[in-house]
Structure 1
Amino acid sequence: MTSALGSQYKKNWNHKIVDLYQENWWKQLQLHNKQSYKERILKNVTPWFILTPQVIQLIFLISEILHQPPEVRYLTIEIFDRFLTCQYLQLYAYVWNKPGASIENSQRQWDRVVDRVKHQLILRALTCMQLASKLVNTSEILTPVAIMNFLKHANQDFTEQSIISSERRVFETIQFKIPFSHPLTYVEFLIQQLSDPQIDIDLDSLYSTSIKVLDVAYIQHHEIYLKLFHLITGRWERTPRERQEFLAVECDNIYLACAVIVCAADISEANSKNVIIKLHQRTGIPLNDLQGLSSIITELIVSE
């Protein structure tokens, strides 16, 4: 498994500026982790409400073809997830809450809306990737022309103006708010905390493996958190209230990042016992909770 995952991503884990401001940065990450959950509750934007594993895999594939780094593909998913849910809520209200409309007419209009959304799915995903590439500020920022050429190869003809309009539409739908962070942001910070000669870990290898594990966590999001709920409660079915309360767990990027790193340490045999203890000390997350979520992710990886 280790050789399959490989080591291809490198970071400067001993950056003096990062060391100097790491406590302030950690406070900001903790704050945003809480704010992200509150924002979803406030706007009724349930994570992965519409996104399917197939769509996530498609976005990952497109990001590889377009030579986008991991930061862009994860941020793309975060933006696209919010956009799709907000768009769905807006369109649903527009069609089904129209005064005086019959059920038959509303259904016909809804069917047309769904067909249009499906037709624009790849365009919207690429638009989110374009926004993500701008925020990450990579050397491979996606341009409207690059997106237009990609869509042509996918047998979808959209003009450059349509692509520009799509960017405006996505930005407006998410109320001009791009997520400040994503799980990889927390993975990177927490791995940096493992830079200790006494632990003796190849951080680049752990980081590369963590990215592969995080891919699985994104694709198998629903399955992972269904299993976690079962592990905690012994039940598979959630009441509406439990579903709402469990969102705090689903939206906890610090918890997910820790579990991903522990899982990666297990896979790469990177002193996982010390890793989980250090993460527990840094985050305050109970050891049993870290072991529970990481074991679920490991199980899914092994079963693939």
Structure 2
Amino acid sequence: MFSGVAPEIIEDTLLHLATENEQYLSELPEQAGYFKETRIVEFIFLLAEKWHLDQSTRYQAVELLERFMIKQIEQMSDDRGSTKGRDQGQRSSWSSVRDQITNTFVLRLVSCVQLASKLSLHYNRVTSDTALRFLQSLKYSYTKQELLESELAVLNTLRFHINVSTPLAYVELLLEVLGYNGCLLPAKPLHQLCVQLLDFCYLTRETIYDTLLKITIENSTPSKLQIAKFLTVKEDFMLLAVGIISTGVFILSPGHWEQVVEHLNRITGITPQSILEFSYAVVRRIVGSTTPEQHRGNRGTKS
């Protein structure tokens, strides 16, 4: 149920999430998103389902793995410096490091899922025995000690800063704000649909954001600079949450859609046009039919 939290708590939490989101975007590494490709996300989602973990845990695991892998690569790059102009031996050394990262990737992924499960409020913790059995089923021969060392490697690399907010937290808080503001929406089915849409956006991330970029620049062939600048849009959790809710309301209760978009605009400062374009990109991926050009020609219809 929504509309059950004190307004001062809602306000403080919203401010905290907005600040956290802005800080993350201001420090965004250029490799952001590299480890959110569909195969990796699907692997984590299926593993979370296999281990009966709650919804937030799978998003937490994806974000942990992403941040850990980028930080690990950055640290290794700093330790070795640029390979440009180095001799063959040093290039071989970097190649060896790359192989090491590749060879331990599944182990690190499992460790991120384990850590995410320990952060879950439902506390359906993944034990070492469970994780080892899974790894053994994939023909890996890790020991409990190696599994523990892998968890510590993730923790140390991230300096124990692992309790990061996921897009689901943004979605649920914004739904809470909408309820407090008097939006008469079907809370439970809307929440369920938003979770399904969030799964969908994680699994089809590249296609959705590619469509959104082309809509934004009104060009089907974006330049490298435009793609680079668009990275902050792809990593903006507040925009993702707003877009998810807008799409969910459009599907489930279209009569409330314009009212909800206006509320979301006032709450977050994200423009109605940006919300519309994100929802369009998601719906287009779901139905797989219309084109950005057709969309621009029909913007005035609000349909």
User: What TM-score, normalized to structure 1?
Assistant: 0.85
Q: Which of 126, 142, 146 is 1:162 aligned to?
A: 146
Selected match of 1:299 from 278, 284, 293? 284
Structure 1, gaps ≥5 residues long: 1-11
Cα distance in 1, alignment partners of residues 123 and 207 from structure 2 = 35
Shift of 1:258: 0.5
Aligned position for 2:82 = 97
- Say if 1:96 and 1:106, in contact at 8 Å, map to a contact too: no
- 1:254 and 1:264 map into 2 onto residues whose CA distance is 15
SS in 2 for 1:61: helix
- Counterpart-to-counterpart distance in 2, 1:102 and 1:197: 64
Q: Match of 1:148?
A: 132
Aligned counterpart, 2:223: 238
Contact 1:210 1:260 in 2 (8 A): yes
1:253 offset after TM fit, Å? 1.1
Q: Percent identity?
A: 25
Distance 1:152 1:123 in 2: 11
Q: Distance in 2 between matches of 1:195 and 1:255?
A: 19
| Corresponding position: 1:13 with 2:2 | yes
- Residue 277 in 1 paired to residue 262 in 2? yes
CA apart distance, 1:227 = 2.1
Q: Which moved more, 1:249-258 or 1:206-215?
A: 249-258
Instruction: Report the equivalent of 2:193.
Output: 209
CA RMSD of aligned residues (A): 2.5
Deviation at 1:244, TM superposition (A): 4.4
Query: Of 37, 56, 67, which aligns to 2:25?
Result: 37
In 2, Cα distance between equivalents of 1:48 and 1:244: 12
- Residue of structure 2 in register with 1:178 after alignment: 162
Normalised by the size of structure 2, how large is the TM-score?
0.85
Residue 112 (structure 2) aligned to one of 124, 128, 132: 128
Match of 1:138 in 2: 122
Aligned length: 287
Measure how far apart 1:59 and its partner are: 0.6
Q: 1:214-244: CA deviations, max 9, x gaps?
A: 112122223222222211212333334x444
Q: d(CA) in 2 for partners of 1:26 and 1:39?
A: 20
Extract unaligned runs of 5+ from structure 2: 290-303
For residues 140-181 of structure 1, the C-alpha deviation after alignment (integer angstroms, 9 at most, x for no partner) is 112222211221222222110001000111112223222531
